[in-house]
Structure 1
Amino acid sequence: MNVIAKNSRLPLFIVALALAISALLGAYFFWRPAPETGNLQGEEVAQKASSSADVAVAAAGMSNEERNATEALVRAYILENPEIITEAVEILQQRETAKRLTSVQKEIVAPFPGAEAGNPKGDVTIVEFTDYSCGFCRASVADVKRLLTEDRQIRLIYRELPILSPASREAAAWALAAARQGKHQAFHDAIFAAGPPSAQSIRTAASKAGLNLSEAEAFAVSREAKTEIESNLSIMQQVGFNGTPTFVIGNQILEGALGYEALKAAVKKARDQG
């Protein structure tokens, strides 16, 4: 009976040991201090992890021999399957990013007036951070259009994130001007179709989109346009993503030209989660 009782408590130790390993990984990848500050944070996390393992050992009534055998087993598994370290780090990063996303969620889903598409009452909201100098953003245009065409319950919010060049910022400001005139989507499509933005291509795209050019030019240099762009840059820093395009779909943050199927799957996941 004692053997059965001990075996039934063994998973408790394994779980605690796994948590301890995750804590150590977190300490290494997320809280590595600068060389001049020493390694105090990492040591503190390691001590806490070791203490957690000690508590689990005591609760499971394990001997030192049993503990050593279990640690050897876990170590061997990690060495044979090192990819789980990368997987664990990715999960930790996703959780940390999700926490930061929660703090700005309301701000993200409140669009600049006119900078949206799809169904304004849709059950899933996609927020796309884009830069008109970004080739990957340009490559995503067709996939996003297809998604909106095939799924009429998606609300799409565009957030201008000019990070690649001065021309990016000028194009972003004109996109906001287009939004003010109710022609954001038309300008968005026209400027991407024109290739990398320039002073000339921006105004050509604005003409194709049917903007009042004098009004758009005045708004593009306004404080309101500057404030919106700075707000989007601040969101990027707060949430911690690295570039464009970045899609926020529910509690998911997806970076890069993902392709239609990946976007569709992300929408389904967000919808299933409610």
Structure 2
Amino acid sequence: MKLSFFRAAIAAALLSLAPAAIAAETAFPAMSEEALAPKTAPKGYDVTVIVFSDYGCPYCKKLHGSLVQLLARDPKVRIVWRDWPIFGEPSLLAARAAIASQWQGKHAAFNAAMFAQPGRVTEATVKAAAKAAGVDWARLQQDMKTRAKEIDTVIGRSNAGAKALEFQGTPGLLIGNARFGGAASLTQLLEAVDKARKAGVG
């Protein structure tokens, strides 16, 4: 399914940004609280990391490894996954599948499996990730079809949020009131989370 708001972005090349923090004017709470945005949310979390990513982005794959380490190190961090598929139809398929996998309670497994897929994103790699994550492919396709409007709405809002935050490419991070572009390291993530926690911006 083609979405008009992605057409211009599909043609744009990835702009790699330095992972230094940029002051943000707002924490965009709607980006973190939207019901259909997949979340990794431990009980008692006090800091939220919002991640704008594309499964076809190599920097996003690198960042994912750092985020996994962050979750292991800090049990009070919540991650909100904002799918921002800017690399064409395969990326859009992967994003829609990721959101739909929630209805099987499989987003965490599917998300990890997608980032573990080698090479470029294709329908075959999306299917392979679904299989690795234990996702029922037939049910996933049905959910993607029957709930297409909801799924595409949340992706559209992620796209709008990324533009409002002036991200030029994936990945983009919002931690407290700080924006990051690029594959931030574990050290940078820990420092940003610590600053947000001390500032009381969760």
Give the TM-score of the pair, scaled to structure 1. 0.61
Number of residue pairs matched by the alignment:
178
Could you tell me whether the CA contact under 8 Å between 2:130 and 2:137 is conserved in 1? yes
Q: In 1, distance between residues paired with 2:90 and 2:51? A: 19
Match in the other structure for 1:125:
48
Matched, 1:202 2:87: no
Deviation of 1:228 (Å): 1.1
Structure 1: where are the runs of 5+ without partners?
A: 1-89
Q: In 1, distance between residues paired with 2:53 and 2:137? A: 23
Q: In 2, distance between residues paired with 1:166 and 1:121? A: 37
Q: 1:112 to 1:242 in 2, by over 3 A?
A: farther
Q: In 2, distance between residues paired with 1:212 and 1:224? A: 20
The DSSP-based 3-state class of the residue aligned with 2:33 is coil
The DSSP-based 3-state class of the residue aligned with 2:197 is helix
Q: Give 4+ residue runs of structure 1 displaced > 3 Å after superposition.
A: 111-114
Matched, 1:154 2:77: yes
Matched, 1:214 2:116: no
Identity %: 30
Q: In 2, distance between residues paired with 1:120 and 1:109? A: 16
Matched, 1:183 2:106: yes
Q: In 1, distance between residues paired with 2:35 and 2:93? A: 17
Could you tell me whether the CA contact under 8 Å between 2:37 and 2:81 is conserved in 1? no
Matched, 1:230 2:153: no
Deviation of 1:258 (Å): 1.2
- The Cα offsets for residues 25-81 of structure 1, whole Å up to 9 and x where unpaired, read as xxxxxxxxxxxxxxxxxxxxxxxxxxxxxxxxxxxxxxxxxxxxxxxxxxxxxxxxx
Q: In 2, distance between residues paired with 1:242 and 1:217? A: 31
Matched, 1:254 2:177: no
The DSSP-based 3-state class of the residue aligned with 1:126 is strand
Matched, 1:168 2:61: no
- The Cα offsets for residues 94-135 of structure 1, whole Å up to 9 and x where unpaired, read as 45xx22x35xx2211114447111414301111111100000
Match in the other structure for 2:4:
none
Q: In 2, distance between residues paired with 1:114 and 1:253? A: 19
2:115 to 192, 212, 215: 192
Q: In 1, distance between residues paired with 2:113 and 2:75? A: 23
What one-letter code is carried by the residue in structure 2 that aligns with 1:166?
Answer: E
Alignment of 1:57-96 (within 5 A): 94-95=22-23
CA RMSD of aligned residues (A): 1.9
Match in the other structure for 1:144:
67
The DSSP-based 3-state class of the residue aligned with 1:211 is coil
Could you tell me whether the CA contact under 8 Å between 2:54 and 2:171 is conserved in 1? yes
Higher helix share: 1
